[in-house]
Amino acid sequence: MACGEFSLIARYFDRVRNARLDVETGIGDDCALLNIPEKQTLAISTDTLVVGNHFLPDIDPADLAHKALAVNLSDLAAMGADPAWLTLALTLPAVDEAWLAAFSDRLFELLSYYDMQLIGGDTTKGPLSMTLGIHGYVPVGRALKRSGAKPGDWIYVTGTPGDSAAGLALILNQLTIDNPEDAAYLRQRHLRPTPRILQGQALRDLANSAIDLSDGLISDLGHILNASGVGARVDLDLLPYSDALRRHVQPEQACRWALSGGEDYELCFTVPELNRGALEVALGQLGTPFTCIGQISADVEGLHFTQEGKAVQLDWKGYDHF
């Protein structure tokens, strides 16, 4: 059956209206019209995913939909925002109905899980790529920022960074793991990251600064340090590794992936001593694994690493597209 641009949008993307959100006009006019709840600050972010750079051409469309939305949600999580609206600009090489059905089914599953609405976008023909615009809101004055870290703050990460890079290495056949469960776990961490939305919201009144881990801890914690005008010491012995990574990857490679692999979409945040107890309770209630890996300091510049009590120099860099 032929499927032009407008019937494609109608069939796959103009599906659900959200009862919670006050959307005056969604898909179907030149602009979306959104009524924003009172005393909320809008949080807006954009991310592009391009075939060959962010994913391989044969990626499962449901995995692609999950990842595209999850990486955008992760930006809202890092600000402590509540997800609301999504725009999707999709470039497709051709109309493949089975592909579109699988892609849009997973997209709408996740949109419904996070109580969001797709409110507009664009479809064009070309090499497979997409740009998502995500919008959320956060009570005025309570957004988490990169710029708030203070000397003495403790540095934390959620989850187990490094898993995503190991998953990518498996997908690219640069790593083989003979245990199917461990291999599947690492691939999933790469293809279906978990945005830490509730955790970000729980950190609003506890953390002084936060960022999500997209380019690797070295680069992303570096952004917090630059924005806050502070330095930090990180103890490599404290980095949390998953059992799967620990079992199949040499310690140095695991460390490199945790610090510079990227795409973990975990949160890195800093918390003053006074809030550590409340943090244990808040993230404990959510069942989120989180680990203290170091401390913000006024008497060092940039990021300093120690291992077994000694200073270590690392020249690894975070992921850079250029």
> Is residue 54 within the footprint of ligand TPP (CB under 6 A)?
yes
Residues facing 122 on adjacent strands = 89
> Is residue 316 within the footprint of ligand TPP (CB under 6 A)?
no
What is the smallest separation between the CB atom of 256 and ligand TPP, expressed in angstroms?
13
Which tokens sit at 184?
């599947």
x/- string (CB under 6 A) for ligand TPP, residues 21-40?
Answer: --------------------
x/- string (CB under 6 A) for ligand TPP, residues 122-161?
Answer: ----------------------------------------
CB burial of 53-66 (b: ≥16 within 10 Å; e: otherwise) equals: ebbeeebebbbbbb
> Is residue 319 within the footprint of ligand TPP (CB under 6 A)?
yes
x/- string (CB under 6 A) for ligand TPP, residues 74-113?
Answer: ----------------------------------------
> Is residue 211 within the footprint of ligand TPP (CB under 6 A)?
no
> Is residue 182 within the footprint of ligand TPP (CB under 6 A)?
no
> Is residue 195 within the footprint of ligand TPP (CB under 6 A)?
no
CB of 233 closer than 8 Å to CB of 99: no
Q: Name which of 63 and 263 has its Cβ closer to ligand TPP.
A: 263
> Is residue 168 within the footprint of ligand TPP (CB under 6 A)?
yes
CB of 199 closer than 8 Å to CB of 267: yes
x/- string (CB under 6 A) for ligand TPP, residues 228-267?
Answer: ----------------------------------xx----
Residues facing 50 on adjacent strands = 129
CB of 278 closer than 8 Å to CB of 206: yes
Distances in Å between the alpha carbon of 170 and those of 49, 173, 250, 255, 287? 20, 5, 15, 17, 28
> Is residue 56 within the footprint of ligand TPP (CB under 6 A)?
yes
Look up residue 282 and give its amino acid: A
Q: Which stretches of the chain are DSSP H helices?
A: 5-8, 61-79, 97-113, 163-171, 180-191, 197-203, 217-228, 243-248, 251-260, 276-286
Pairing of strands 231-235, 303-307: parallel
Binding residue (CB under 6 A) for ligand TPP from 47, 153, 182, 264: 47
Binding residue (CB under 6 A) for ligand TPP from 215, 232, 264, 305: 215
Binding interface with ligand TPP (CB under 6 A): 47, 53-56, 71, 168, 214-215, 262-263, 319
